[in-house]
Chain A
Amino acid sequence: MELAIISGKGGTGKSSIAAAFATMGSNVILADCDVDAANLYLLFNPPHDEEEVFTGSYKAVVDQENCTLCRQCIDYCRFDAIAMVNNQINISEASCDGCFLCSRICPEQAIEMIQHDKSRMYTGSFRDGRMVYGWLAPGEENSGKLVNLIREKVKKLAQQNGLSHIIIDGPPGTGCPVISTITGTDKVLIVTEPGISGLSDLKRTVELVQGFKYPAMVLINKYDLNPEMTSRIEVFCDTVWIPVVGKLAFDPQMTEAMLNCKSIVEWKPKSETSKALNRIWKTILNF
């Protein structure tokens, strides 16, 4: 089974929940696809068995010696990335989308495309198994390509090591990286929190998931912080035919576990939260 854990909004507890599922001794391999803010490795601190360079987008660079200031590149660029600054053609790295058009149309061939190679994909082992995670260099476009690579790698490792369950810790939002995370998975778990923001993000996430017709489930984290909003979320889930597979109470031991680089199941195996997570995992497996 391949399970993707997502949430419209960050900070709902996706990573802590993924970590709990991964440490129940249940034949699991982990993938951290929140490449923009990978966190799971902090709990598991896996030595890097493998480090692979991820080459991301290209950026245009001007050779000022050959540039004749004809300005054609400025006219053609649709990303407002090129401008004349101090009588020189200046290309903003942040705005450049790497489309190659300026380098193709430049009559002097004074523009070169340079590929970024600072992003990485790591594979490592931790106490209960193996994990793969990505590290996207700041400012890189999070297009979902690195997410796809991580998922391919995890599938290969799962096959090689005979691991039957893949758990994916997903990125926030409703854009490309999330779509890459859920495409082709068996099950999607949406983690939400009771609140006006949580509900609005949940609605967007449900719209995304149902657009792709994935079997989705909802887990309400910290449900006791606002019981009325929890009921509103439950009613919403009912009306869109998405089952709520469980609720977790606010538990400071979740943070304590994180501070000690452990999952809640490792830190306090007998706690109510751990018991609930065990039940939820079984429900997910049978879903």
Chain B
Amino acid sequence: MIKSKHHIIAIASGKGGTGKTFVATNLFHALKETGENVMLIDCDAEAPNALAFFDSRQADCIEVTQQVPVIDSAKCTFCGKCHEYCAYNAIFILPSLEIIKVIEDLCHACGACLVACKYDAITQKSVTLGQVSLNSINENVNLIEARTKIGVMTPVLVIKAAIRQIDHRNNIVILDSPPGTSCPFIHTVAAADYVVLVTEPTPFGLSDLKRSVETLKQMNKPFGVIVNRAGIGNNEVYDYLESEGIELLLEIPFDKEIARICSNGGMVVNHNPALKHQLLKLEQKITDKHGIGHHQR
């Protein structure tokens, strides 16, 4: 098969702490060791961790900004039209006292107030939402991190900026997705050709897995499941996968040694050749079945 285009795999899970970053970083490392052109993007912009697992050098850093309004109260007639147009209550106005303020934390930078103002009283300024850092482990940029400024309302714009940096020379791109099933998750998996959901066999893990599955089905995304920390819980996750006809891609047993290596920022695949083999085989299977060749036919 000729790989003319990159193949994007998102590693996701409804719940945090199931081992997404563990799977994403180890899969990335294993593929890189085989000489594959592979790129990892940490899209968990509110709590990015992937970078901590690698010895990398920052090649570039891009500021992600948005345009928020600035109101010139000298030009403002306090007509209230901008306040009326703002769907997010980000404009505070007291016409009788001639007070008008933009509450930047609530502003979504939609630009509606600029359209509303007939008196040319609103201009804009850039506000930083976060950074996208481009890092290289050897020579090429292969490790990208999305990182929101703390307290920023939504990481979506920073995540999108990181995904835009995908280098088409890479055959495989791995996205480490944020947890949950709301916008940050949707925008990450929307960019992927295939989604690997990582779960654990507990009631909490199962409940969050079901939400992710529902969402991916609505989005028509192909996906499969890795059960991490197998052995700590019960069989309900397996029963669910079977009844829904969802592919169980891999089981990784609970192992204190894996937990120890990860917690020290190490690569488990360096100590566990069986896991390395399984992850590489898994990637091959996904590419063969859902990869580039499949889409082009």
Q: How would residues 105 to 143 of chain B score, 1 for a CB under 8 Å from any chain A CB and 0 otherwise?
A: 000111110010000000000000000000000000000
In the complex, the chain A residue whose C-beta lies closest to that of B116 is A104
Would you call A172 and B190 a contact (CB within 8 A)? no
In the complex, the chain A residue whose C-beta lies closest to that of B236 is A259
Q: Which residues of A contact B108 (CB under 8 A)?
A: 97, 99
Within 8 A of B (CB), among A183-230: 193-198, 200-201, 204, 207-208, 211, 225-226, 228-229
Q: By DSSP majority rule, is chain B's interface helix, strand, loop, or mixed?
A: loop
Interface centre among A12, A99, A100 (most CB of B within 10 A): A99
Q: By DSSP majority rule, is chain A's interface helix, strand, loop, or mixed?
A: loop
State how many angstroms separate the Cβ of B249 from the closest Cβ of chain A.
20
State which of B18, B85, B207 has its C-beta within 8 Å of the C-beta of A100.
B85
Q: Which residues of A contact B109 (CB under 8 A)?
A: 78
Q: Which residues of A contact B181 (CB under 8 A)?
A: 36-37, 136, 138-139
Chain-B contact segment, one of A3-11, A121-129, A266-274 = A3-11
Q: How would residues 8 to 49 of chain B score, 1 for a CB under 8 Å from any chain A CB and 0 otherwise?
A: 000000111110010000000000000000000000001111
State how many angstroms separate the Cβ of B172 from the closest Cβ of chain A.
23
Chain-A contact segment, one of B211-219, B276-284, B285-293 = B211-219
Would you call A200 and B179 a contact (CB within 8 A)? no
In the complex, the chain B residue whose C-beta lies closest to that of A58 is B87
Interface size on A, residues (CB 8 A): 60
Chain-B contact segment, one of A46-54, A156-164, A173-181 = A173-181
Q: Is A76 an interface residue (CB 8 A)?
A: yes
Would you call A100 and B150 a contact (CB within 8 A)? no
State which of B21, B150, B207, B211 has its C-beta within 8 Å of the C-beta of A208.
B150
Q: Is A27 an interface residue (CB 8 A)?
A: no
Q: Which residues of A contact B167 (CB under 8 A)?
A: none
Within 8 A of B (CB), among A33-75: 36-37, 39, 42-43, 58
Query: What 4 pairs across the A-B complex have the smallest Cβ distances?
Result: A11-B17, A10-B16, A195-B263, A99-B110
Q: Can you list 8 A-B pairs with a CB-CB distance of less than 8 A?
A: A37-B14, A39-B203, A42-B204, A78-B109, A101-B110, A138-B181, A175-B148, A195-B263
